[in-house]
């Protein structure tokens, strides 16, 4: 919470303005927020009285004392309510416009696989999906397994199966359904790994085991997604990825960075300022991936990004990554490929606004449609406020 306002209206009734002002002065003079306040002399001592004017910056809250008619209070409340409704409608409009733009971006991508927590209606699933965590799930290799180019596989993570597959325990990994699938998918280009648990570690032994049993993936795999939450990668796993899948064009490691590898070095040393546990492994990984065009780091939430920079990955490493890879993203959720040009983005924006205005689904409010129409006609945010 950044700001909160509590309003207390006196229950007493006053016969005239001067009587109310007298009471306001009395309240002010007895308030600790106005300690050391020196009121102006005579008739100049009039409300409003604002403790902020004392510039006591140690205060976590301030007091404003006003004298108003009931009609003025009612109007102010009505104006506040109208402004709040406008702010809510504008927030809904921004979210709706973003959703429509995402649909167009996904369409422009030519049907590429797309998974999203925030935009599930726009998802395009992989050719083959399997979730070990679902009840009564029984794995069967698909008939066209050697032709499948994209796979989404969610590994079960429970007390009896505690991330042994992704940890790379060979006694479990080599006989796992996931390994059977990867060995059979000789044309696989895109692999999306997920975990049903929380803090499931994907270790370098898993990567090494995969390329041992399914060596064709060294050449065929172009997209590797191991997004959190749920999955975490130790720093050394990044080195294994870079050495194993040289033809990757996209690496999605969003939200997989752990804070547990930070060693609490001397805060005044150059090492503390410039190096974090994931810095060297990530950059080494990227340098071994000459075809990489997109790197997804996640941590779009400002608080999570603060933890990332404080304990896992430095600003310098992110900057170096951007020098090595054309498109480095740090979003809250998976996003489609960006538009091909600024002109195409503007065209898509106009199309999205028209979709809202047409309201084919019937789910958009009149206020939201009006905002879309105003935006399409070139209205600024200030114009949209006044025209609401």
Domain count, the chain: 3
Residues present in the chain in total:
388
Same domain, yes or no: 365 and 270: no
Distance of alpha carbon 277 from alpha carbon 295, whole angstroms: 18
Any domain includes 9:
no
Same domain, yes or no: 101 and 179: no
Any domain includes 199:
yes
Any domain includes 3:
no
Where would I find the H helices in the chain? 17-29, 70-108, 164-167, 170-173, 177-184, 204-213, 217-220, 235-244, 270-274, 279-287, 302-311, 315-324, 342-358, 366-376, 381-387
Helical (H) or strand (E) element with 329: strand 327-329
Distance of alpha carbon 280 from alpha carbon 287, whole angstroms: 11
Question: Is pLDDT of 363 > 80?
Answer: yes
**pLDDT range class, residue 163, cuts 50, 70, 90:** low
Any domain includes 292:
yes
DSSP secondary structure of 45-78: --S-EEGGGG--TT-SS--EE----HHHHHHHHH
Q: Is 36 left (phi over 0), alpha (psi -120 to 50) or beta?
A: left
- State the average pLDDT for the chain: 88
Question: Is pLDDT of 13 > 90?
Answer: no
Same domain, yes or no: 320 and 263: yes
For 114, phi and psi rounded to 5 degrees?
-145, 120
**pLDDT range class, residue 384, cuts 50, 70, 90:** low
Question: Which residues 6+ apart lie within 8 Å of 36 measured at CB?
Answer: 54
Same domain, yes or no: 157 and 231: yes
List, for residues 193-215, the tens digit of each pLDDT value. 988 777 788 899 999 999 999 99
Same domain, yes or no: 99 and 222: no
Distance of alpha carbon 115 from alpha carbon 337, whole angstroms: 12
CB 65 within 8 A of CB 27: yes
More confident residue, 167 or 157: 167
Same domain, yes or no: 187 and 241: yes
Same domain, yes or no: 107 and 117: no
**pLDDT range class, residue 1, cuts 50, 70, 90:** very low
Same domain, yes or no: 158 and 199: yes
Percentage of the chain modeled with pLDDT above 70: 90
Any domain includes 2:
no
Any domain includes 12:
no
Which range marks the domain in which residue 318 is found? 113-335
Any domain includes 284:
yes
CB 357 within 8 A of CB 369: yes
List, for residues 254-273, the tens digit of each pLDDT value. 999 998 888 765 555 555 45
Structure tokens at 203: 């270790």
Alpha carbon distances (Å) from 112 to 127, 146, 190, 284, 337: 10, 19, 10, 28, 9
Same domain, yes or no: 194 and 149: yes
Helix (H, G, I), strand (E, B) or coil at 1: coil
Percentage of the chain modeled with pLDDT above 90: 55
Write down which residue in 6, 37, 67 finishes a domain. Answer: 67
Say what the pLDDT of residue 122 is.
94
CB 7 within 8 A of CB 57: no
Same domain, yes or no: 33 and 57: yes
Write down which residue in 317, 335, 353 finishes a domain. Answer: 335
More confident residue, 24 or 137: 24
List, for residues 65-121, the tens digit of each pLDDT value. 999 988 998 898 899 898 888 888 899 999 999 999 999 999 999 889 999 999 999
Exposed, middle or buried: residue 319 (CB in 10 Å: 0-12, 13-18, 19+)? Answer: exposed
Any domain includes 118:
yes
Q: What is the mean pLDDT of residues 123-145?
A: 87
Same domain, yes or no: 103 and 159: no
- CATH code of 224's domain: 3.80.10
Structure tokens at 226: 């191991």
Question: Is pLDDT of 57 > 90?
Answer: no
**pLDDT range class, residue 162, cuts 50, 70, 90:** low
Same domain, yes or no: 143 and 288: yes
In 3D space, the residue among 33, 32, 10 whose CA is nearest the CA of residue 22 turns out to be 10
CB 233 within 8 A of CB 261: no
Write down which residue in 35, 67, 99 finishes a domain. Answer: 67
């Amino acid at each position: 919470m950044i700001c909160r306002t509590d309003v207390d209206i006196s229950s007493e009734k006053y016969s005239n303005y001067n009587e109310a002002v007298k009471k306001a002065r009395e309240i002010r003079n007895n308030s600790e927020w106005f300690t050391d306040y020196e009121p102006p002399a005579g008739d100049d001592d009039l409300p409003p009285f604002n403790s902020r004017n004392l510039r006591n910056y140690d205060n976590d809250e301030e007091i404003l004392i006003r004298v108003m008619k009931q009609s003025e209070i009612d109007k102010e409340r009505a104006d506040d309510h109208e402004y709040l409704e406008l702010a809510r409608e504008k927030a809904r409009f921004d979210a709706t416009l973003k959703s429509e733009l995402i649909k167009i971006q996904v369409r422009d991508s030519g049907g590429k696989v797309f998974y999203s927590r925030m935009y599930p209606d726009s998802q395009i699933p992989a050719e083959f999906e399997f979730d070990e965590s679902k009840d009564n799930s029984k794995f069967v290799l698909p008939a066209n397994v050697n032709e499948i180019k994209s796979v989404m596989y969610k590994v079960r993570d429970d007390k009896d199966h505690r991330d042994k597959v992704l940890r790379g325990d060979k006694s479990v990994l080599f006989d796992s359904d996931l390994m059977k699938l990867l060995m059979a998918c000789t044309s696989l280009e895109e692999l999306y790994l997920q975990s049903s648990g929380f803090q499931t570690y994907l270790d370098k032994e898993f990567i090494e085991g995969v390329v041992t049993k399914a060596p064709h993936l060294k050449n065929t795999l172009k997209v590797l997604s191991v997004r959190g939450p749920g999955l975490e990668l130790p720093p050394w796993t990044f080195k294994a990825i870079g050495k194993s899948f040289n033809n990757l064009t996209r690496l999605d490691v969003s939200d997989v960075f752990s804070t547990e590898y930070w060693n609490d070095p001397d805060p005044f040393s150059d090492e503390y300022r410039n190096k974090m546990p994931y810095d060297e492994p990530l950059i080494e990984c990227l340098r071994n991936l000459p075809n990489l065009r997109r790197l997804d780091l996640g941590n779009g939430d400002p608080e999570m990004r603060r933890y990332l920079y404080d304990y896992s990955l430095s600003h310098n490493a992110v900057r170096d990554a951007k020098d090595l890879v054309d498109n480095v993203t740090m979003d809250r959720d998976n996003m489609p490929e960006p538009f091909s040009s600024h002109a195409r983005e503007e065209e898509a924006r106009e199309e999205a606004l028209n979709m809202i205005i047409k309201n084919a689904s019937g789910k958009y409010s009149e206020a939201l449609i009006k905002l879309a129409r105003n935006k399409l006609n070139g209205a600024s945010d200030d114009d949209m406020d006044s025209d609401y």
